[in-house]
Structure formats: C-alpha cells, structure tokens
Structure 1
C-alpha cells in the first residue's frame, strides 16, 4: 500500500468532484440576495467571547449563509465599511477550510484569522500577539490543495498591513512562523524543541489550511494569534485576562486592516 500523502499522487492539480460554488447556488436559492462580493473582507474567530464582542461593538445582522455563525458588521454607521465575522464553526484545519471555501464562493476576497496559539518559547507570555508570516504544514488539509511542501506563507501585503495596524495601536506584536498541527494532544517534546530552535514561535491548528485554501482560490489571507499557553512551560490550564484583551485588540486591528486594504489608493479617489 502507498505510504505517500495524499494517497492519490498529484491530486492538488486535479479538479474536484465537489465545488463550493454549489453551496453558494444552494444558498441563493433560499436567499436570492446572498453575496459577500464588495465587502471589505471576513474575520474568522474561534473564541465565542470575541465573536460576542464584535457583535456588541457594531451594528450587526446575522446571515444564515455558511456553516457557523456569520454576521455582517456595519462599521462607522450606515455609510461605513462592511466586514463579515464568522465563528462557531469549530476548531482545526478542516473546519476553517470548509467555512472559508463557503465564504470565498459567496464573494469574499480577503480573510484574517484571529485565534489563540501555544508558544514554543519561554519569553512569550500569555497575551502576547504574534503575526504569522509562515506556517509549517503539519496538518492534512493543505496537502490536498497544494504541491508537497513543508511550509506556506500568507499574503505578504495583507500581513504587512496587519502588522502596521497593530503598531499604530501601540501594540508590540511578534512576527514569525507557526507550526500548524491537527493533533493538539500529540505535540511532543522533540517537536517543540526542534521547531523552537528553528525559530518557530507558536503552535496553532488552522493557519496552514487557511493559507492553502486562500492561495488555491486566489484570495488574500493573514493570521494573528494571542498566546494562550505554553508548550515549553506546562502549567495547569487557566484563562488569562491578558489573552482575552489581546484577542479583542487583534480583532480591532483585523477589521481596520481589511477596511484599509479594500479602499482604493488615494490617487484613484481624486
């Protein structure tokens, strides 16, 4: 039996039987106005308090168009910018990839994922924000979308804008690679030590998949994490107010980044 993965060679270059456009067509059969084309972008959220904070901070309306809970936020009043936030769809690469495919099929062209991660370095405390500029592909999803490879990078421009918006808020965010894994209860000391020595800052469960889907579909993606715990200094699990505050800061930076990225250059406004 073949030991390669995926099992079928070269599958990333083959057309799929299923198509997310089918989902969009089904949704529009029920909601003819269902489109996300023209909005500034979407933020994927994994912690419910952050989603609730987003809904409470802006006028919002729920849209039953994708898996999970999708809300359209009206920023700066009725004539302001529109950004979608989506949460409640689960954790991990497959869940993020599924909902991202549906969002893209409905018209989303930019996405930022905001979540928590575990640090691989003792000098990154709870609440430290990390902008991911490279993801190790130690999950399964990305290998169905792209040729074999050890890592994948996000959109350079969107990542730069995200880092800039955090700096403008006075946030000292770290920037570096993350190790995306499907098996949070199988992270070993050997891996933590090895990847840490290579400069990998965090471990997460979605970034590589999000970047792979975005690259495959020709859209822009970026990611920012709030450190929640440590893989080098294990302690009893407890929630940190610093992590919660950092997630809210990351959300605001992500919303501003998407709106700024969607605006035409000043020369085109004249």
Structure 2
C-alpha cells in the first residue's frame, strides 16, 4: 500500500485546472453585461451576519455565491461581501468569483479564538502569517507550513487602524478547517510558538490571492479563547470592535494607492 499524500495527486499546484473562474464571469454577463468589479478599490469579506446586515448599500443579486453590495466611501467604490458561510472552502470559492470579476484587493474580516493569555475579547489582530492547517491552500501552493498575506496591503491596513486609534496586535495565526477538533496538544504548542489566534479562512484566502496574484489581508477580532475554555458568550466588546475595524478597513481600501 502506498502512503497517501495531500493533495492525493502529486504536485497538483503546478497543474492547470479544468474549470476556470472566468466561466463564472462569462455566465454572469449573459444576464448583466456590465458586471465588473474592476473599478472598485477592493472588497471586504465579512463572516458575521449581524455585521453584514448593518451595511447600507446597493445589492448585486447573483454576482457571487453570497451577498455582494457596493458602497461609496471617500469617493471610491468598495464591495462588501457576506452570507457565503464559514471556512476556507466557502471563502476561497467566493474569492475566486470576485477575482474573476476584476477584484484585485481583498480584506477578510472575522472573529478568531485567542491563543495568548493577554488577548481578550474585542482585541484586534492583523494576521502576518497563517499556518496551513486547512485543505484549500494545498491545492493552490507548494507544500509548506505557512503562507503570508500581501505585505503592502497589511502594512497600509495596520497604519490605517493606528490612525483610527485602534490598538492592533500583529503576528501569526492558525487556520484550521476543524474548529471542533482543536486539541489541547495543538493549542499548547501553537501558543508556545507565539501564534496569536485560530481562525478558519486566512490561509486559504492568502493562498488563492497568491496564486491569482492579487493583494489580500486578514483582520481578526478576538471572540473567545482556546486557552481558558468557557461556554461562549457574545461580548459587546467584540461587536464594537468589529464595527470599528470595518470602518477602518473601508478607509484603508479607499485610500490605498
């Protein structure tokens, strides 16, 4: 019996795919000939439905597998995308569709679980590196332990947060597809290594962005802790921080070169 690898087909990241995301754009334009995101300053991908519901903007029905809205901020058009579910596979699928329509800059914004004792609910983390413990990234990139976001977009985003007087912690995250299989052994190891938080999407987003040659950055707002596990309660600090970080992300995109 041969030892299984992941992905099962060797060197998959070097091979051309049969389906192409451009097919999505072509199909959409049979209904909406002018469908494009090329003139936008970028798209913010949101995972919390409560936050997305607060966005007052025009809806673009059926443009992606999720809900997409466009709004004007400081004279530039920005997309807000939500309602597509959780996890790297769902996020990667929607990101591919956004890129096929012309998006070249994406900020992903969601909650994460703390792996450090001094990171509390409502604290903000800018992800500088993501451990690839999900499946999506391995279909896009060569085998490696981690993947990085766009340095220039992350730098600009952090500077914008700081100009909004938002304290932001910068460092690595752990992306996993299995939130109910995060073990004590993993939490202890990654906490000791200095990993700041656990999320589900960042590594997949960074991998797709790197493969497609666009800029992507990720922000986490801490919602709970994996070090001192307790029944989760929705913290008002988390919700407040999510709104603040969304405003800063809008400004970052509208002022990006």
TM-score bracket for the superposition, by shorter chain length = over 0.9
Counterpart position of 2:50? 49
Deviation, structure 1 residue 60: 3.0
Distance in 2 of aligned mates of 1:53 and 1:254: 15
* 1:73 equivalenced with 2:71 (yes/no): yes
Q: TM-score of the superposition, structure 1-length normalised?
A: 0.93
Deviation, structure 1 residue 147: 0.2
CA deviation string 1:47-90 (max 9, x = no partner): 012112222xxx434342000100011224xxx21000000000
Counterpart position of 1:260? 255
Residue pairs, 1:107-122, within 5 angstroms: 107-122=102-117
Distance in 2 of aligned mates of 1:133 and 1:156: 8
CA deviation string 1:155-198 (max 9, x = no partner): 00000011001100111111110000000000001100101111
Distance in 2 of aligned mates of 1:64 and 1:140: 27
Counterpart position of 2:246? 251
Deviation, structure 1 residue 138: 0.3
CA contact (8 A) 2:130 2:174 kept: yes
Counterpart position of 2:164? 169
Give the superposed CA RMSD. 0.9
CA contact (8 A) 2:73 2:251 kept: no
Distance in 1 of aligned mates of 2:216 and 2:79: 14
SS of 1:86's equivalent in the other structure is strand
* 1:153 equivalenced with 2:151 (yes/no): no
* Structure 1 residue ranges without an equivalent (≥5): 264-270
SS of 1:54's equivalent in the other structure is coil
Q: Find 1:186's aligned residue among 164, 173, 181.
A: 181
Counterpart position of 2:16? 15
Deviation, structure 1 residue 258: 1.1
Deviation, structure 1 residue 40: 0.1
Counterpart position of 1:212? 207
CA deviation string 1:118-145 (max 9, x = no partner): 0001111100000000000000000000
Deviation, structure 1 residue 237: 1.3
Distance in 1 of aligned mates of 2:230 and 2:183: 16
Q: TM-score of the superposition, structure 2-length normalised?
A: 0.98
CA contact (8 A) 1:39 1:81 kept: yes
CA contact (8 A) 1:53 1:248 kept: no
Distance in 2 of aligned mates of 1:100 and 1:204: 17
Matched residue count: 256
Residue pairs, 1:80-119, within 5 angstroms: 80-119=75-114
Counterpart position of 2:232? 237
